Amino acid sequence: MAATTGTAPAVQPLDRQAMLKEAGATGLVIFALAFGLLGFRTLDVPGGIDIQYRFGDVAAAVVIGILGRIALILLREHRPLPVLLTTAPLAVVLLVMLLAKFLFGPETGAELMRFLPFESLVVMWAILIVIVVLALRAARSQTHIASEMTVEDRDARMDRIGAKVQRAARRLGPVLLGIAIIFPFLPFADRRLLDIGILVVTYIMLGWGLNIVVGLAGLLDLGYVAFYAVGAYSFALLATGLDVSFWVALPFAGLMAASAGVLLGFPVLRLRGDYLAIVTLGFGEMIRIILLNWYEFTNGPDGISGIPRPSFFGLAVFKRSVTEGHTFHEMFGLQFTPIHRIIFMFYLILALALVVNLFTMRIRKLPVGRAWEALREDETACRSLGINPRNTKLTAFGIGAMFAGFAGSFFATRQGFISPESFVFTESAVILAIVVLGGFGSQIGVVIAAVLLIGLPEFFRELQQYRMLAFGMAMVLIMLWRPAGLLAHREPTIRLFGKGAAKEAEP
Amino acid sequence: MSAETAIAEGATSPDLLGPIPGGGEAQLTVEHLTMRFGGLVAIDDVSFQAADARITAIIGPNGAGKTTVFNCLTGFYKPTVGRLALHHPKGEFLLERIEGFRTAQAAGVARTFQNIRLFPRMTVLENLIVAQHNKLMRASGYTVLGLFGLKRYREAEEKAVELARYWLDRTLLTKAADQEAGNLPYGDQRRLEVARAMCTEPVLLCLDEPAAGLNPRESQVLNELLLFIRDEHKMGILLIEHDMSVVMGISDHIVVLDYGRKISDGTPEQVRNDPAVIRAYLGEDEEDEPAGETAAGPESAAREGEERDA
Ligand SMILES: Nc1ncnc2c1ncn2[C@@H]1O[C@H](COP(=O)(O)OP(=O)(O)OP(=O)(O)O)[C@@H](O)[C@H]1O
Ligand SMILES: [Mg+2]
């Protein structure tokens, strides 16, 4: 609801009827949604399932929705004062009630909490945030501190921020890398933190891999997890069936995934945008269903277990003792602790991710990379310049898939067990969300988004069930607010004049 | 002389007998070109020749089939019937048999589009480097060697930048080299598209309404650019244009289409006085100079055509 002008707008008389109509419509929509979603809850009771009715919650949701809508309308019609006067005290009251446990001790806290409209604290906090945002907007509007920006202004500003972050990234990158390298030896880096670190870096790697396909080549691939699965299964089958070591199986798994990428790429070459997305989504599911049903080969839903752990470059193993060969701790004269293996894993995935990053940075400046971007911009023009769109797209699919395959191998060896359940559509969605949130084509954006989307939720395990909800909300906000992604800013791959000249030329 | 060539190649169309209006050696010979879309005959048995190092204009009212001729020449459409022979230093190419991107890659036919098709979020320089894709791809050892930053690739890239620089200078875009192409003013975008086509180092340049939407000054700059390409690079240019001041001012040879048929073919002087052209193209009553039409006509005509393109 960006105002079109920066000047103080004339306040027009309020059309109460229209306002009530709009608020009523909102109420109806919320009722329709909440009735099904909130109204009933199944309970496990001895001997079956019982239904609990929560019509109070539905009513509360409708009332809150209507009030919120009215507040928004008032803000839009430049009447911030009533909004400010109601939301500000309400926010304070809510905050006190929510923190009552800490402020007045558990008993009074529980007493006060009974007055809250919803049982779930998460929902209450969400409502509180909404109210605070409303209050802030009302306050800003009331004091005319900030003239509202137009969408273009905001885009331009965000692009400048994006550019700044990317410029900073050149310095920030090595710093982040340094932190990542010493991370396992930091005093607070316990096993749990290391595990989270490994997970985050895995997703960073997947995000970077998908960024080649989606960000550079502009091919919206919703089935990326399929190649992750192909890599994981290739690795697992090789390692368990043929006793191939990690370092031999890894490139092979990447190759298999790349072949799968090219193979699946062929039929979708002519498709663009939404159609491509739907077909790749279908392919992703197909691979998973094949893995699930080809029992003789993949062991179906039971998965593959006993996948060997990687050795220390084939020189030593991470075990307390072995009958033949060397153990890592003896080789380096250390005390045995299982954390050695975890640290090694961390470095392994870090190295793999860095390979992807370096590769991407390099290939952007090569003819293929530029052709990918050109293809994203205009395929017809590419044809008129003699660029082979088929080969160019297939290399993007293939290379993206290969990196997913590497990540898949790592996943398999880290878990020691894989099953089709690890490769559901949600994974594709999460990886895509990281790319979209970070900004198509932005390497540092992917890092930040992966930390936000993967790292943070791991710390708030209790809120796991709300993770997809938060994802969805974040996506909707991004699409509304900045469709190109948070840090989308494209650095040219080549310049005629140096960087300094470019800055001078900027207004 | 060109008549002899045409006959020697077994030309069957009487249109191709006699020298090419405007002079020059035949570079492109189009014979019996027909293009049907379902029941619609967009081009109906059109034959003409275009000469090397000459500007051949293809004009005609909206929907006459001009862009369709280009699409057939540049591999975007496969003609229903027809023979499109291109005389290339490397030999003769039959364009109707070459498909898609290979026309530009192998036969060296470059084109621009009626509605500009740049790579808007890439810089001006990058647009020109992408145009040299095939050459650079070879130099980068199909990426594999390039990944290791070999000297050969770096040199090839420097050469590519030099060529880009040359065309930037010619199109007055040097200052804008590091800007996003999509942010350029309209007239600059038109010239950039020409520069990009030239960076593919073509033998034949096909321009689809390059002056559409330009102001008179920009139009003049474009005229000079096209004459420069013709005279200094000895390149044949096919030009679709509604702006009569451009057409009459710089073309050596004009082919007029109407409802998919060729209705006139000759030098600007001949076409200007051809009663068939005046009737079909300029309206029944107009006996004036065709230039009278340019004031209002072309702009709006070009706009209408904007939507439909390859
Ligand atoms: N792909 C297509 N499918 C169906 N009909 C087409 C197609 N391309 C062109 N046509 C038809 O062919 C005819 C000629 O179109 P064309 O675009 O070649 O005209 P034009 O001479 O370039 O006109 P303008 O001056 O408006 O650009 C039109 O009737 C058009 O509708
Ligand atoms: Mg046209």
State which H helix or E strand residue A151 sits in.
helix A151-182
User: In Å, how far are A154, A474, B144, B180 from A482, measured between CA atoms?
Assistant: 9, 11, 36, 19
Residues 6+ apart with CB under 8 A from B45: B32, B33, B34, B81, B261
Helix (H, G, I), strand (E, B), or coil: what is residue A463?
helix
At A498 the pLDDT is 72
Q: Which residue has the tokens 């692009």?
A: A159
Q: Which residue of A has its CA nearest to B202?
A: A385
Quick one: average pLDDT of A441-447? 80
Tokens of residue B262, six digits: 């060729």
d(CA A168, CA A252): 37
**pLDDT recorded at residue B84:** 85
Whose CA is closest to A450, among A174, A185, A211? A211
Looking at residue A332, what is its pLDDT? 67
Nearest Cβ partner for A385 among B76, B121, B200: B200
Q: Cβ contact (<8 Å) for B131 and A395?
A: no
Residue A280 clears pLDDT 60, i.e. is over it:
yes
Distance from CA of A74 to the nearest CA of B (A): 38
In sequence order, which residues have a C-beta less than 8 Å from that of residue A394 and are 6 or more positions away?
A262, A265, A266, A269
Say yes or no: CB of residue B300 within 6 Å of ligand 1: no
Task: Find, among A322, A319, A323, the residue nearest to A336 by Cα.
Answer: A319
Query: Is ligand 1 within 6 A of the CB of residue B71?
Result: no
State the closest ligand 1 atom to the C-alpha of B60, by its place in the atom list counted from 1. Answer: 21
Pick the closest to residue A89 from A46, A121, A135, A53 (CA basis): A135
A195 pLDDT tier (thresholds 50, 70, 90): confident
Q: Is B133 close to A370, i.e. CB distance below 8 A? A: yes
ipTM: 0.82
| pLDDT above 90 for A399 | yes
Q: Which atom of ligand 1 is nearest to the CA of B209?
A: 27
Query: Whose structure tokens read 């940075």?
Result: A361
Total count of residues recorded for chain A? 507
pLDDT of residue A315: 63
Q: Which residue has the tokens 């191939």?
A: A244
Asked whether the beta carbons of B161 and B196 are under 8 A apart, the reply is no
The ligand with the least distance to the CA atom of B302 is 1
The amino acid at A1: M
**DSSP code per residue over B230-276:** HHHS--EEEEE---HHHHHHH-SEEEEEETTEEEEEE-HHHHHT-HH
- Between A349 and A458, name the one with better pLDDT: A349
Choose the residue to mutate in B41, B46, B68, B116 for probing ligand 1, maximizing ligand atoms within 8 Å of C-beta: B68
User: Is any ligand 1 atom within 6 A of the Cβ of residue B8?
Assistant: no
Q: Is the pLDDT of residue B299 over 50?
A: no
> Would you say the CB of residue B308 lies under 6 angstroms from ligand 1?
yes
Please name the residues between 173 and 232 in chain B that touch chain A, using a CB distance below 8 Å: 174-175, 177-179, 196-197, 200
- Asked if residues A38 and A60 have their Cβ atoms less than 8 Å apart, the reply is no
> In terms of DSSP H, where are the helices of chain B?
2-8, 66-73, 102, 124-130, 133-139, 151-170, 186-199, 216-232, 244-250, 268-272, 275-282, 291-294, 297-305
**Tokens read off for A50:** 């019982």
CA dihedral A329, A334, A338, A339 (to 10 degrees): -120
Please report the domains of chain B, with CATH numbers, ordered by start residue: 1-108+210-273 (3.40.50.300), 110-201 (3.40.50.300)
A367 to chain B: which residues are within 8 Å by CB? 133, 136-137, 140, 143, 146
pLDDT in tens, A357-367: 989 888 888 88
**How far is Cα A129 from Cα A135, in angstroms, rounded to an integer?**
10
Task: Round to whole Å and give the CA distance between A493 and A360.
Answer: 12
- Which of A213-227, A342-356, A483-497, B296-310 has the weakest average pLDDT? B296-310
Residue B257 has pLDDT above 70, yes or no: yes
Q: How far is Cα B278 from Cα A16, in angstroms, rounded to an integer?
A: 65
Rounded Cα gap, residues B112 and B120, in angstroms: 15
Pairing of strands B236-240, B55-59: parallel
**Which residue of B67, B123, B140, B154 to mutate against A (max A Cβ within 10 Å)?**
B123
Q: Atom 2 of ligand 1 has which residue's CA nearest to it?
A: B37
Q: Does B134 touch chain A (CB under 8 A)?
A: yes
Q: Do A386 and B133 count as a contact with CB atoms less than 8 A apart? A: yes
Nearest by CB to B146, from A366, A382, A502: name it: A366
Residue in the structure block whose two tokens are 């019609």: A77
- Which residue shows structure tokens 């985050």? A200
Average of pLDDT values for B93-105? 78
For A176, phi then psi, to 5°, come to -60, -40
In angstroms, what CA-CA distances link A294 with A242, A300, B246? 19, 6, 68
User: Residue B252's closest CA among B60, B57, B69, B67?
Assistant: B57
Summarize the confidence of residues B39-58 as an average pLDDT: 87
Report d(CA B1, CA B16) in Å as an integer: 12
- Lowest mean per-residue pLDDT among A255-259, A276-280, B4-8: B4-8
Q: How far is the CA of A137 from the centre of ligand 2 (A)?
A: 51
- Strands B81-88 vs B26-37: parallel, antiparallel or unpaired: antiparallel
Q: Are B56 and B236 in contact (CB under 8 A)?
A: yes
Please name the residues in contact with A220: beta carbons below 8 A apart, sequence gap of 6 or more.
A214, A273, A274, A276, A277, A280
A79 vs A33: CA distance, rounded Å: 29
Nearest Cα of chain B lies from the Cα of A38 at a distance, in angstroms, of 46
**Out of B120, B129, B143, whose CB is closest to A363?**
B143
Q: Which of A157-161, A184-188, B198-202 has the highest mean pLDDT?
A: B198-202
Above 70 in pLDDT, residue A463? Answer: no
Please answer yes or no on whether B147 and A374 come within 8 Å at the CB atom.
Answer: no
B275 Cβ contact list (under 8 Å, min separation 6): none
Q: Where are the alpha helices (DSSP H) in A211-307?
A: 225-241, 246-265, 273-293, 295-298
Mean pLDDT of chain A: 79
Angle at the Cα of B188 (from B182 to B194), degrees rounded to 5?
Answer: 100
Is the CB of B66 inside a 6 Å radius of any atom of ligand 1? yes
What was the pLDDT predicted at B197? 92
- Residue A147's pLDDT is 52
CB distance A366–B125 less than 8 Å?
no
The answer to which of A239-243, A333-337, B121-125 has the lowest mean pLDDT is: A333-337
B147 and A363 within 8 Å at the Cβ level: the answer is yes
Region at B209 (left for phi over 0; alpha for psi -120 to 50; beta for the rest): left
Chain B residues with beta carbon closer than 8 angstroms to that of A363: 143, 147
A126 has a pLDDT exceeding 70: yes
In the 8-state DSSP scheme, what is residue A387? -
**CA of B293 to nearest chain A CA: how many angstroms apart?**
32
Task: State residue B26's pLDDT score.
Answer: 79
Q: Which of B76, B112, B143 to mutate to test the interface with A (most CBs of A within 10 A)?
A: B143
Contact status of B18 with chain A (Cβ, < 8 Å)? no
Task: Report the C-alpha gap between A287 and A291 in whole angstroms.
Answer: 6
A256 φ/ψ angles, rounded to the nearest 5 degrees? -60, -45
CA atoms of A415 and A409, how far apart (whole Å): 10
| CA A456 from centre of chain | 11
Tokens of B40: 């619609």
B19 neighbors B3 (Cβ within 8 angstroms):
yes
Pairwise pLDDT comparison (A319 vs B106), residue with the higher score: B106
CA end-to-end distance (rounded Å), chain A: 28
The values of phi and psi at residue A399, to 5°, are -70, -45
Q: Which pLDDT score is estimated for A403?
A: 93
pLDDT value at A466 more than 60: yes
What residues contact residue A253 under an 8 Å CB cut-off, 6+ apart?
A230, A231, A232, A234, A235, A238, A405, A406, A408, A409
Across the interface, of B76, B133, B149, the residue whose CB is closest to A387 is B133
DSSP 8-state class, residue B143? T
Positive or negative, the CA dihedral A30, A33, A38, A40 is positive
Radius of gyration of chain B (CA): 20
pLDDT over 60 at A148, yes or no = no
pLDDT reported for residue A46: 79
B163 near A CB under 8 A? no
B 90-109 near A (Cβ less than 8 A) = 100-106
Query: Which residues partner with B261 through β-bridges?
Result: B258
Look at residue A5 in the predicted model and tell me its pLDDT.
42
- What is the band of A227 on the pLDDT scale with cuts at 50, 70, 90? very high
Please tell me the least confidently modeled range out of A364-368, A407-411, B93-97. B93-97
Residue-level pLDDT at B240 = 92
**Reported pTM:** 0.76
All residues of chain B having their beta carbon less than 8 Å from the beta carbon of residue A362 are: 147, 149
Q: Is B305 in the pocket of ligand 1 (CB under 6 A)?
A: yes
**Eight-state DSSP code of residue B141:** T
CB B258 within 8 Å of CB B304: no
* Set of chain B residues whose Cβ sits within 8 Å of the Cβ of A370: 122, 126, 129-130, 133
